[in-house]
Amino acid sequence: MSLPFPITARHKGFNRAEIVDQNFSEFVKLWEGEVRSAPRDDGPVLPGSALDAQGFRELLESQLISRHLDLMARVLRVQNKVFYTIGSSGHEGNAMVARLTRHTDPAFLHYRSGGFMAERFRKLPGMDPVMDSALSFAASKEDPASGGRHKVWGSKPLWVLPQTSTIASHLPKALGTAIAIDHARRIGHALPVPEDSIVVCSFGDASSNHATAQTAFNAAGWTAYQKLPAPVLFVCEDNGIGISVKTPAGWVANNFRHRADLDYFFADGLDLAEGYAQVQRAVEHCRHTRRPTFLHLKTTRVMGHAGTDFEIEWRSIEELCAVEASDPLLRSAAIALESGLYTRDQLLGLYEATRKRCFAAAEEADRRPKLERLEDVMAPLAPYTPDKVKAEAERADYADARVKAFGGEDKLPERQPPRHLAIQIGQALHDVMAKYPESLLFGEDVAQKGGVYTVTKGLYKTFKGARVFNTLLDETIILGLAQGYANMGMLPIPEIQYLAYFHNAGDQIRGEAASLQFFSNDQYRNPLVMRIASLGYQRGFGGHFHNDNSITALRDIPGLVVGCPSRGDDAATMLRTLTALAKVDGRVCAFLEPIALYMTKDLYEPGDGQWQFAYPPPGEAMPLGEGRVYGEDANDLVVFTFGNGVPMALRAARTIQAELGWRVRVVDLRWLVPLNDAFIARQARSARRILVLDEGRKSAGVGEGVITAIVEAGLGATPLERVVGADTFTPLAGAAFLVLPGEADVVAAARRLAG
């Protein structure tokens, strides 16, 4: 497409947004092409086009709304009325994807999705894309997407799950949602969307190179290779550049055109008349075949990455002019005029009316309330309704399902002898899955094998492969699947095989699952219970990948709940509460299972069986934050600990009492995030001496949180010692025990307190 006027170097130094804005008006005023007879509303906008005239009008309006929101943001940002300037200019062709999909097709969108959103708003009556977007740009408390917490493209009624400046991290959960749509039928779960829905997931050409994107593409192909449905439409909006790094010409097509089991389609997103049929083919293919589909949508990027990106400083004026000449709104203007649907004056009138509408909405949004109190900001982050959670955790109205799951009344776990941790976790998982037919347990080796430590043994046989299944070896995808199942109303229980493996995929929890409630103002939730074999002290097997004592990465995630039982009965009651937290309050939870205690049966002497406990029957649950206290009345020394530290402290207490004559109280925290500061202070208040036993590393461990709670309660004068692991990776074999605290270290710390 050639312009009816030249863009030359005389524009150098001008505000590029102003230039792009002027280009449209000048293009329309100077256009001298042939004008056809205006088509009927249901006729093709141009001969041979699959897009009808009415569809073109609406798509054009959506494009103009997106463009003027961008222009408005550039102007009002300097007035401190708008707080986000990453725009959609050049990507307005994604409105075609919105038009050709349904509002019940869940969408995970790239940040350049103004056109898509404006068009999807048409799907439901009474919705206003301009005002809703303006409220988000202004960070208004009345923003219907995030409540003013971020500028996001999102809408609960339109099934657009909000994303914040995503760089590929949303692809795994988009794939997970697509898999969940068809998986629901296999477990008899009623979906919140139609059964033939697809998932839309858009991203940039630069993001397609990210490891998280590549793992999603690989998993999509892996799924399709096995003939399993995965109806996700990956929309790669290729503008040829990532901030300032250019994508090599032809790279996206070359990289994705011939991938097995990832079906490739190209569409010209710069030309509505040409690109519409191309997008349509991709959408229909994805919906009908239920296969992962890659739509390579040609776009461009005008006005820079964001308002602070002064491209003229690093990009030649000739290159900028060429990019601006490819502006899709100029092509849409040409179609509007050539088709006879608009005269020059009508088109310019629509353009200016849209500008006026966007600026008026922005000024109004600026007058709306903002978030001004911390409690309002944090309100959706970690909802907790204790009474409802307690009632759900203790609910025991599934007796028949329990009997079936365990194979008879006489095999119910509460009728069996006391058992150790691994057995009781497995029993508790049987219980949970009997209680919640929508629950799914999955991960590496969890099905037929029953897990590396046989913790999930028997679950596959009881609940079959649709509810207990193995995944590919990819923690990012495991957690992406979990989010997808949660999006579709199921209760996922993903397993991460070792705590060290979580770090490979931590952003799926930190940046995605745990942030969704916050950034959607609690309209969307990712309820899940993540099981992780954790901590140190394994004998005969280890190294830092299998003896990982780093809980810091979990403690730093806002809104996450982390529980760590040290004994089997606690594991069962804790799991009931964790699943209730997920079901009732939509919480994202981590259940840390101490590997070294899985098979531990004895406490003091071989054969004493004192670390085996009776299984708690349904109706019993552990309140969030409630610890367990051994030796309630002992005040000479109070030991705060968790996990492996609990039996270690109990054994050390015997030595301390024999040597120093002290009565020792051992406090098992059980809940590591959030720490129950009030409980810690209450236990510390009556202590003559305090010892904090934390098997994690010295820096940033749980022990630091315990000490902070004690000091902030005004108890800092109480003599205190800390016994912790060293700031090092864990070595192999016996050397591992040199870097972890042991019973002798606990006794030595008590001696120091005595001195």
Give the tokens for residue 197.
Answer: 């829905």
Residue 659 CB neighbours (<10 A): 12
State the pLDDT at residue 542: 65
The closest of 457, 355, 328, 312 to 71, measured between CA atoms, is 355
Which residue in the block uniquely carries the two structure tokens 């296999």? 186
In degrees, to the nearest 5, what angle opens at C-alpha 53 toward C-alphas 51 and 57? 100
Give the tokens for residue 118.
Answer: 């404006």
Q: In angstroms, what CA-CA distances link 681 with 52, 328, 719, 720?
A: 70, 63, 14, 14
The closest of 290, 261, 292 to 182, measured between CA atoms, is 290
Cis check: omega of the bond before 106, within 30 degrees of 0? no
Residue 714 CB neighbours (<10 A): 10
Does residue 80 contact residue 262 with C-beta atoms inside 8 Å? no
Does residue 706 contact residue 694 with C-beta atoms inside 8 Å? yes
Does residue 159 contact residue 104 with C-beta atoms inside 8 Å? yes
Q: What is the Cα–Cα distance from 470 to 448, expressed in whole angstroms?
A: 8
Give the tokens for residue 732.
Answer: 């192999």
Give the tokens for residue 179.
Answer: 């898999």
Average pLDDT, 10 consecutive residues per value, the chain (755 residues): 52 74 95 92 95 97 96 90 88 98 97 96 95 94 94 95 85 98 96 98 95 97 97 96 90 95 98 98 98 98 81 84 93 97 97 97 95 96 97 97 96 97 98 98 96 95 96 96 98 95 92 95 96 88 72 92 98 98 98 97 97 97 98 96 98 97 98 97 97 93 96 96 91 85 96 94
Residue 187 CB neighbours (<10 A): 15
DSSP class of residue 288 equals H
State the pLDDT at residue 209: 94
Q: In angstroms, what CA-CA distances link 81 with 33, 148, 362, 376?
A: 41, 13, 8, 21
Residue 707 CB contacts under 8 Å (≥ 6 apart), including other chains: 692, 720, 722
State the pLDDT at residue 320: 87
Give the tokens for residue 22.
Answer: 């002027």
Give the tokens for residue 674.
Answer: 């959030």
Which residue in the block uniquely carries the two structure tokens 């994807």? 97
Q: What is the Cα–Cα distance from 394 to 577, expressed in whole angstroms?
A: 8
Q: What is the Cα–Cα distance from 110 to 239, expressed in whole angstroms?
A: 13
Burial of 30 (0-12, 13-18, 19+ CB in 10 A): exposed
pTM: 0.95
Q: In angstroms, what CA-CA distances link 604 with 286, 423, 558, 600, 741?
A: 61, 21, 38, 11, 18
Give the tokens for residue 270.
Answer: 């710069």
Which residue in the block uniquely carries the two structure tokens 């399709």? 224
Instruction: Give bridge partners of residue 639 from the DSSP assignment.
Output: 666, 691
Helices (H), 267-385: 272-289, 317-325, 328-338, 344-367, 374-378
Does residue 321 contact residue 3 with C-beta atoms inside 8 Å? no
Give SS3 for 108. strand
The H-or-E segment that residue 314 falls in is: none
In degrees, to the nearest 5, what angle opens at C-alpha 500 toward C-alphas 495 and 504? 80
Instruction: Give bridge partners of residue 593 from the DSSP assignment.
Output: 533
Residue 533 CB neighbours (<10 A): 23
CA atoms 380, 386, 391, 395: torsion sign: positive
State the pLDDT at residue 165: 66
Instruction: Give bridge partners of residue 470 from the DSSP assignment.
Output: 443
Give the tokens for residue 321.
Answer: 């002019």
Does residue 182 contact residue 126 with C-beta atoms inside 8 Å? no
Residue 360 CB contacts under 8 Å (≥ 6 apart), including other chains: none
Residues in the chain: 755
Q: What is the 3-state secondary structure (H, E, C) of 537-604?
A: CCCCCCCCCCCCCCCHHHHCCCCCEEECCCCHHHHHHHHHHHHHHHHHHCCEEEEEEEHHHCCCCCCC
Q: What is the 3-state secondary structure (H, E, C) of 49-78?
A: CCCEHHHHHHHHHHHHHHHHHHHHHHHHHC
Q: What is the Cα–Cα distance from 433 to 435, expressed in whole angstroms?
A: 5
Does residue 344 contact residue 27 with C-beta atoms inside 8 Å? no
Does residue 490 contact residue 497 with C-beta atoms inside 8 Å? no
Does residue 68 contact residue 87 with C-beta atoms inside 8 Å? no
- Label the pairing between strands 637-641 and 664-668: parallel
